[in-house]
Amino acid sequence: EEHLVESGGGSVQPGGSLRLSCTTSKFILTDSNMGWYRQTQGSSCELVSSITKDGSTYYSSSVKGRFTISLDFSADTAYLQMNNLKPEDTAQYYCAAQLGPLNYTEYRPCDMLRGFGQGTMVTVSA
């Protein structure tokens, strides 16, 4: 069973920044495709950003240019740096680790999916 622990969420004003962290094991970080999803109440679980085992990155069109995904193998941690945050970025954010490709959309709640953490809340409001 994957063990992923997110942190770094909080409340911030529009235009502000947050860095989300996902602490896991070195084995998972090295051998998995890592991603960040987000979900709001009543919506699907959407992929925001991902990084493959060979370092290829993906960003959804809504966050491209503002968010950056990275891995720190010395800390066994994946990060999501979020800059210029907007109110529409408000959501529960989840770290995910999969041996295979990450789906762009999951139609079940993120926190019920295998290979997902329990989430961290991000609130962007004036």
Q: What is the pLDDT of residues 69-78, one digit of tens each?
A: 999 999 999 9
Assess whether pLDDT exceeds 90 at residue 87.
yes
User: What per-residue confidence (pLDDT) applies to 2?
Assistant: 61
Residue 31 sits at φ, ψ, to 5 deg, of: -105, 5
Closest CA to 19 of 81, 71, 108: 81
> Rounded distance, CA 92 to CA 54, Å?
27
Average model confidence (pLDDT) across the chain = 95
Q: Each residue of 23-60: pLDDT tens digit?
A: 999 999 999 999 999 999 999 999 999 999 999 999 99
Q: How far apart are CA 9 and CA 26, in angstroms?
A: 23
The DSSP annotation for 52-121 comes to -TT--EEE-TTTTTTEEEEEETTTTEEEEEE-S--GGG-EEEEEEEESSPPPSEESS-GGGSTTB---EE
Distance CA 49, CA 26 (A): 20
